[in-house]
Amino acid sequence: MTAGLLRVDGLSCHFGGVQAVRDATFEVRRGTITGLIGPNGAGKSTVINLISGARRPDRGSVTFDGAQLAGKRPHEVARQGIVRTFQQANVFARLTVLENLLVGAAPWRGERFAAALGPRRAWSAPQDALLAEAWDILRRFGLADLANEYAGALSGGQRRLVELMRALMARPKLLLLDEPMAGVSPPLALAIAARLTELRDAGMTMLMVEHELRLVEKLCDPVIVMAGGTVLAEGPMAELQANQAVIDAYLGGGDA
Amino acid sequence: MTGTIYYLSGLAILFGINVIAIWGLDLQFGLAGINNFAYIVFQAAGGYAAALFALKPAKAYGSFETYLGGWHLPFPLPLLGAGVIGGVLAVPVGLIAMRRLRADYQAMAMLVLSLIATGLADAQTGLVNGPTGLALIPQPLAGVFHVSPVSYNWVFLALTAACCAVAWWVTRGIARSPFGRLLRAVRDSESGAAALGRSPESLRMTALVAGGALAGLSGGLLVEYTTAWGPSSWLYPETFLFFTALIVGGKGNLAGGALGALLVPIGIVEATRFLPAFGYPGLIDSLDWVAIGAILLVFLWFRPNGLLPERRRALPPIGNEKAAGPPPVPGEAGAR
């Protein structure tokens, strides 16, 4: 068994009187697509927000690749190598698809303020390298035709793809996916699933919140089940489907 | 004839000064999406800085004005100082208005800062001579060129053009660069930019400083041209004059900003000067503001991107076309 890349320990967070996450403890192992499932209000998205720094935890720790993340700001977490996507597709609407991807690239010298005041060649050559990479990803995802369209002009499913491609430009060590298939047509969802599998086979680690259980079963191992802010169970999907506590809390009477 | 030339060259100077100010606002509002409703304060700060750097100590004029400083620095130091002060002012303003607050509250905080600043300048007579304002501000190089006011206008026009060139270089450099792209990304989605490792706070702050420096420079030029400056010249509605110009011309577009400068502060305000007087004194000035407000509303409703909208920045294909991976996604991709 490979070592844990991310370890969440005793994480808690409340909104007003609601305890959104209570003592959540789990691990994400390298090279896995770890699923995070549970009923609405289980605290799945809050966990993603806590890991990515969008929210501060009341208690608990997030250890990533040996570094402590709890309390860090979102951009600091991202610089450690964790890139996230959002429940509502979050693209830069008045940037083209290609520009969205370029912003995704890990921070580089030519994007600094000083380079903007210098000659064009201060940033154009390194940008061409990023541009080649961006085109490559676009072609792999079959979106090259839309490269120079505004991201805001795309369909909901296409925006999800843009967000995913943009995250890949950063070459993250861990990708946090908050319902990447929500609102996506079935064929596109399958295509996204195929890309995610390829990425995992290439060694990328992912933590994915998803409601479409057939996709979770196909993609994710292990799967973490949350309910009422706590981690209920963890294991391969087949095992969870036989777990009475999971069935009671989420999967229901066998027709899920 | 000389009168017309004097008037037109003066108009050209005012146009140039407005262009610099509007480009500065474009950096903040058009690119970075900051609702800086305190923009006029940056121009005013530059104006006061240039004045105080250029004036001799108050005693030299028989102490009929009271103000801070009076350093009597030679050209071009007062102008440079105006730009520096405008940029430096952005730091406290940004810290107060942009940390912790969301965009709508940022706008509110900015507007309040603007009101506080006018109030302070008005009430503190020892600072910048209170509500009366400063007069007798020396003109740059007036001692070098011993020429008539008409000819001096050409000197000042050349100086304004040089400042416009600097402003163009800064604004265009930022707008076309990867840094400018990051500003536009933060404008479109702060959380998205942060999730990709960029600090929205520091990007916005940089834009606020750069735009503030241009506002300060424009204020310095304006004061050195008019030789007088008081709180009534920079009341908060002036901020909306710049916003109107930028929205009418087109934000995120340098030519749009220049067009806006030509149409709104120069076009409307100057054109109505030639209307035959009617109504009570000051009625036409008030109607100017009504017209400007109405134009702003019309553009916000029907043409929010302005006459010359921000251009889509298409980038060329680079890399190996044959390296295309699996076939395109069925159904969705490629469809519009």
CB-CB: which of A92, A115, A120 is closest to B189? Answer: A92
B152: left (phi > 0), else alpha (psi -120 to 50), else beta? Answer: alpha
- Closest among A229, A207, A205 to A216, alpha carbons compared: A207
Write out pLDDT tens, residues B9-47.
Answer: 999 999 999 999 999 999 999 999 999 999 999 999 999
Minimum Cα–Cα distance from B198: chain A residue? A75
Query: CB A140 to CB B325 under 8 A?
Result: yes
Give dist(CA B251, CA B31) in Å, integer: 8
Residue numbers in B near A185 (CB within 8 A):
331-332
Residue numbers in A near B336 (CB within 8 A):
153
pLDDT class of B191 with cuts at 50, 70, 90: very high
The residue written with tokens 């019309």 in the block is B298
**pLDDT at res. A72:** 93
Residue numbers in A near B316 (CB within 8 A):
131
Give dist(CA B317, CA B314) in Å, integer: 10
CB-CB: which of B176, B181, B328 is closest to A103? Answer: B181
Residue B63 predicted with pLDDT over 80:
no
Mean pLDDT of B299-309: 94
B178-188 and B149-176 are packed helices; what angle lies between their axes, rounded to 10 degrees? 80
Residue B330 predicted with pLDDT over 60:
no
Reported pTM? 0.92
To the nearest whole Å, the CA of A6 is away from the closest chain B CA by 17
How many Cβ pairs within 8 Å bridge chains A and B? 181
CB-CB: which of B185, B188, B323 is closest to A136? Answer: B323
CB-based contacts of B173, cutoff 8 Å, min separation 6:
A116, A117, A118
**pLDDT at res. B61:** 84
pLDDT class of B319 with cuts at 50, 70, 90: low
To the nearest whole Å, the CA of B297 is away from the closest chain A CA by 22
Give dist(CA B63, CA B135) in Å, integer: 12
Mean pLDDT of B151-155: 91
Task: State the alpha helices, DSSP H only, in B77-102.
Answer: 77-98
Residue numbers in A near B315 (CB within 8 A):
96, 98-99, 102, 131, 147-148
Phi, psi of B144 (to 5 degrees): -85, -45
Report, as ranges of residue numbers, the positions in chain A whose pLDDT lies below 50.
Answer: 1, 254-256
**pLDDT at res. B328:** 44
Residue B329 predicted with pLDDT over 50:
no
Mutation target to probe the B interface, by most B beta carbons within 10 A, among A95, A98, A102 is A95
Residue A96 in 3-state DSSP? Answer: strand
**pLDDT at res. B326:** 47
**pLDDT at res. A255:** 46
For chain A, domains (ranges, CATH) are: 4-91+171-251 (3.40.50.300), 93-153 (no CATH)
Residue B332 predicted with pLDDT over 80:
no
Residue numbers in A near B313 (CB within 8 A):
95-96, 99
Higher pLDDT residue, A134 or B62?
A134
Residue A34 in 3-state DSSP? Answer: strand
Q: For residue A238, with 0-12 CB atoms within 10 Å meaning exposed, 13-18 middle and 19 or more buried, which class applies?
A: exposed
Residue B331 predicted with pLDDT over 60:
no
CB-CB: which of B179, B194, B321 is closest to A75? Answer: B194
Residue numbers in A near B169 (CB within 8 A):
117
Query: CB B334 to CB A146 under 8 A?
Result: yes
Query: CB A116 to CB B177 under 8 A?
Result: yes
Tell me the DSSP string of B227-295: S-B-GGGG-THHHHHHHHHHHHH-TT-HHHHHHHHIIIIIIIHHHGGGSPP-SSTTHHHHHHHHHHHHH
CB-CB: which of A91, A131, A141 is closest to B192? Answer: A91
Query: CB B324 to CB A84 under 8 A?
Result: no
Residue B132 predicted with pLDDT over 90:
no
Residue numbers in B near A167 (CB within 8 A):
196
Tell me the DSSP string of A145-214: GGTTSBGGGS-HHHHHHHHHHHHHHT--SEEEEESTTTT--HHHHHHHHHHHHHHHHTT-EEEEE-S-HH
**pLDDT at res. A165:** 95
What is the number of other CB atoms lying within 10 angstroms of the CB of residue B237?
A: 11
Residue B62 predicted with pLDDT over 60:
yes
Mean pLDDT of B52-76: 87
